[in-house]
Amino acid sequence: MTKQLHKRFSTEEVKMLLKKYLTENVKLMYILEILKITQRRFFQLLKSYRKDPEDFSIEYKRKRPTRRISERIEKNIITELKIEKGLIEDKDIALTSYNYSYIKDRLKKKYHQEVSLSTIINRAKREGFYKAKKKEKKAHDREVSTQYIGQLIQHDSSHHKFSPYADERWCLITSLDDHSRLLLYARMVERELSWHHIVALEYVFLTYGIPLRYYVDSHSIFRFVQGRDSMWRKHYLITDEVDTQWKMVLDECKVNITYALSPQARGKVERPYRWLQDRIVRTCAREEIRTVQEAEKVLEAEVERYNYRQVHSTTKEIPIIRFQRAQREKNSLFRDFTVPSPYRDIKDIFCLKATRVVDPYHKVSFNNLNFKVHTAPLRKEIQLRIAPDLKTGMAEVRIWYKDILTDVYQVKNSDLNLVKF
């Protein structure tokens, strides 16, 4: 059957056949063949006809009347759509399309109103708040390619104007487990430094363990590229022959790195940030966020929602549930973190490094600061391992000569000029 009964026959035609069955003893098999319905459906119609022949009808009736939304909900939908339009038209804001799912969540969170997504989209089209999405030239493979948590960590930073009320752009730094799609780390900072990415490594390693591999783009913080990162070209140096501060931490912890070299490959790193940026920008605009500290609270709420309540479009699971199941089933490549010998403290690992040569006065200098070295011989190379604390504004400088910790100093972060790192 390609059509419903009421679309193939009128009520009067069906009534006539029912009468023939009751009064003229027309065999059921012929009526079923004409109406093209099941025997069960026929007797349902017959029961209804016998009950009230005059009001009998085969016309389709909705079980539930169409629900009309209140004027208050209608007003809130239009208000949110107008805000969306203003953000899209603002050239300083990195938004190009409407996010109706965000509006649905916004109505529930702020106004405590439950509205279906289709209702919001219908209002958007009717009121002129609709913009068709551009079709991607080539669909990117979104399948999960890893079998274990900790097998691949997608790590990246995003530099945008997250709020129209802020004077500057901020940087979003995140680390995401590829298998579970769980956001392991997320932080908003005013200015991106190598130290911020080392802090991200420290948090992931100490909270979840040491993963097998990191997946990043070719940002200068992650990779040295000769000709781009050096003002004075040295012909014996090529790509990766000079390690960045971030890479040195991974090397000491024996973690592999894969670099995304093409725009298509970078899409794997950048895709998880699109939806996060999208929702943060929209909330910051509505809440009139002006400082990075306020934006971090918005970020925390979005990360909590994503990790613990949102079903991921690729895995079809909530990230934390997928992650915890992998832990229970021992499908993990995370290793327990231990401070590698001969080092004694995590500050010796998650730190900024610089080498110096001990001068005839048993001193080394760093950014116009002089440090006394008590154990290393003269004219021998030592290594400064510097661990800044952004909360206290102080840094611990630990001086190592080979396998010996010679000295420990406390200095102000401002005296170290961390921007150079």
Mean pLDDT across 128-138:
70
312 and 368: one domain?
no
- The pLDDT score that the predictor gives to residue 236 is 37
Range in 21-35, 116-130, 132-146, 405-419 with the lowest mean pLDDT = 132-146
Q: Which helix (H) or strand (E) holds 337?
A: none
Same domain for 351 and 255, yes or no, is no
* Residue 198 shares a structural domain with residue 266: yes
Cα 94 to Cα 6: distance, rounded to the nearest angstrom:
52
Q: What angle separates helix 28-35 from helix 39-51, to the nearest 10 degrees?
A: 100
At residue 251, does pLDDT exceed 60?
Answer: yes
Residues 76 and 165 reside in one and the same domain: no
Structure tokens at 60: 């389709």
**Does residue 32 carry a pLDDT above 70?**
yes
| Helices (H), ranges, 36-99 | 39-51, 71-89
Higher pLDDT, 376 or 9: 376
Final residue of a domain: which of 110, 127, 144?
127
On whether residue 333 sits in a domain, the answer given is no
The residue among 127, 162, 195 that closes a domain is 127
Number of compact structural domains in the chain: 4
Structure confidence at residue 26 (pLDDT): 83
In this structure, the answer to whether residues 235 and 110 fall within a common structural domain is no
Long-range contacts of 70-73 (CB under 8 A, 24+ apart): 72/113, 73/107, 73/111, 73/113, 73/115
Last residue of a domain, one of 300, 328, 356: 328
Tell whether 177 and 286 lie within a shared domain.
yes
pLDDT at 240 over 60: no
Asked, for residue 132, whether it belongs to a domain, the answer is no
Dist. CA 87–CA 226, nearest whole Å:
40
Q: Which amino acid is at 305?
A: R
Tell me how far apart the alpha carbons of residues 61 and 270 are, in angstroms, rounded to a whole number: 49
pTM above 0.85, yes or no: no
- Residue 192 is encoded by which pair of tokens? 């991106």
Tens digits of per-residue pLDDT, 205-226?
Answer: 999 999 999 999 888 889 876 5
Same domain, 196 and 104: no
Task: Give pLDDT, residue 275.
Answer: 79
Q: Which pair of structure tokens corresponds to residue 93?
A: 């804001």
CB atoms within 10 A of CB 26: 15
Whether residue 277 lies inside any domain: the answer is: yes
Model pLDDT, residue 235:
36
| Cα 71 from Cα 183, distance rounded (Å) | 39
Instruction: Tell whether 117 and 174 lie within a shared domain.
Output: no
What value does the mean pLDDT take over residues 134-138? 57
Give the relative orientation of helices 71-89 and 263-286 as an angle to the nearest 10 degrees.
130
Residues 284 and 198 in one domain: yes
Tokens read off for 11? 């009520």
In a domain, 335, yes or no: no
The answer to whether residue 356 sits within a structural domain is yes
Give mean pLDDT, residues 89-113: 88
Task: Identify the band that residue 270 occupies on the pLDDT scale cut at 50, 70 and 90.
Answer: low
Q: How far is CA 63 from CA 4, 49, 66, 67, in A?
A: 16, 19, 9, 12
Question: What CATH number does residue 240 fall under?
Answer: 3.30.420.10
Tokens (6 digits) for 278: 């999208």
Separation CA 26–CA 4 (nearest Å): 23
145 lies in some domain: no
Strand partners, 177: 153
CA atoms within 13 A on the CB side of 299: 21
CB 170 within 8 A of CB 190: yes
Q: Are residues 167 and 214 in the same domain?
A: yes
Q: Are residues 120 and 172 in the same domain?
A: no
Q: Edge-to-edge strands of the sheet including 381-389?
A: 352-357, 381-389, 394-401, 404-412
| 164 close to 311: Cβ distance less than 8 angstroms | no
SS3 418: helix
- Are 157 and 237 part of one and the same domain? yes
Choose between 236 and 252: higher pLDDT: 252
How many Å apart are CA 157 and CA 246, to the nearest integer?
13
Q: Which residues constitute the domain of residue 123?
A: 71-127
In a domain, 339, yes or no: no
pLDDT in tens, 335-385: 999 999 899 999 999 999 999 999 999 999 998 899 999 989 999 999 999
Flag whether 135 is in a domain: no
